[in-house]
Amino acid sequence: MKKLACLLLAGIISVSMLAGCGSEEKAAQNSSASQSTAPQTAAQTSDNTPVTVKFANWGMSEAATKPVFEQIAESYKALHPNTTIEYVGIPYGDIKQQTFVMAASGNAPDIIQTHTAWFSTYATSDIVEPLDDLLGKEYIDDIIDSYKADYTYNGKLMGIPWAPSPYVLYYNKEIFKKAGLDPEAPPKTYDEMLDMARTISKVKADDGNKIYGFGEATDKLPINGLVALRNIYSFNGSVYDKDSKVNVNTPEVIETLKFYQTISNEGLSPAGAKLKDLRNLFSIGQLGMYMDGYYGKAVFRNLSGKGEAYDKVWGVALVPVNKTGKSVSIGEAHGLVISKDSKVKTQAADILKYITSKEMITQYHKSNDVLSARKSLSADPDLNDSDFARICVEQLNSYIQPLPANNPGMEQGYLEIATALQRVTVGKEEPAKVAQDLDAKLKGLLK
């Protein structure tokens, strides 16, 4: 029955193309670790029995992250000669569906890379193992509280956050100059941000193309519903009320929907945009401001065609203050889970600790700007090595609000929120009516 349930779930899982990931190359090569020298940060395994730990991920399928994954396997092999990490490379958009199918057929990988936006589907299933006993209290207490909450279900830690990313404000300094704005003075409040967006939208690019003032992703994808929580929280709203009951038919959520409708009606933001559309527009000088994770830096370098030189064009700032009186953001993260059917859970847990150790996170940061979700590393100089990194770390440590509690219907709930955004932006529907309908939808899903 368990396998049948997994197959049925895998069959209805929607494949979502989410934020924060680079190219989706179709090549998915399996790679076994080779020996190398590396600092010892994980416990040595005393048992000399050969062990293979299968690790399903999309990192091996992407050129930007493949070298890091190879280094992790090689370094771990040097410390644990009897343990081999065998990568199962699966493209980003396919990994959730494929790993559920693998679990249903009795061939689940030992470790699976996942993402916050669809982590609830794993956490509430029966294919992943709770990690409290495997990782221990000391390690778990070191996870930043908001991220620990995001990866918990029914009081148990069901995964760990890896490569966490807060949403921060990116702004184009050259566009600011063109619009007569101070390129070193990004907006500090939502009102200032809207005023600047209106000013920016009055100018055009050198080639005559339109420049949008401020972009929000509103395409019908679960990730866009998740990202919209940043605005809902900023308007002092929530998905649940003080009694932990679903309630989005509130003045705060209605005001959030009006905000989306305003930036759409005034032409400040491109209609029906995906996050990748906003990144592209920002990289080619047709978007003044938008909010994204730490990975924006690498994306801009690539899409602009200017490499590191493009770093001089843009700046980064904390999310502007809105109704709460402080900067409010959400975090997302690439996550790691251990399969319930794994026969090598102890070794898999040790690999999770190694991957999130200072040495490995520092290497990953140097190549891909990733951050750490561990409290003990938040002030580490190696992870605060630029103004860009320091802004991201400040947002991460001080101004992140947890996502709604994991629920079997949460991923579909995010899709319903994204649908509501489309209704007010593309459909031009009345925000109050949309909030009422969304409330009914979420109450049916989040039981």
Q: Which CATH superfamily is domain 2-166+332-398 in?
A: Periplasmic binding protein-like II (3.40.190.10)
In the chain, what are the helix, strand and coil shares in percent, each to the nearest 5? 45, 15, 40
Q: Enumerate the β-bridge partners of residue 181.
A: none
CB-CB contact of 218 with 428 (8 Å): no
- The alpha carbon dihedral of 20, 22, 27, 28 has a sign of negative
Write down the domain spans for the chain.
Answer: 2-166+332-398, 168-330+406-445
In tens, the pLDDT along 204-246 reads 999 999 999 999 999 999 999 999 999 999 999 999 999 999 9
Average predicted confidence (pLDDT) for the chain: 90
Instruction: Tell me the pTM.
Output: 0.86
pLDDT at 43 over 60: no
Run of H or E including 83: strand 83-89
In tens, the pLDDT along 287-330 reads 999 999 998 898 999 899 999 999 999 999 999 999 999 999 99
CA distance 190 to 243: 29
CB-CB contact of 176 with 289 (8 Å): no
CATH for 168-330+406-445 (3.40.50.300, 1.10.10.60, 3.40.190.10, 3.30.420.40): 3.40.190.10
Q: What is the pLDDT of residue 192?
A: 98
Mean pLDDT over 370-379 rounds to: 92
In tens, the pLDDT along 382-424 reads 999 999 999 999 999 999 999 999 999 999 999 999 999 999 9
In tens, the pLDDT along 50-74 reads 999 999 999 998 888 899 999 999 9
CA distance 171 to 315: 5
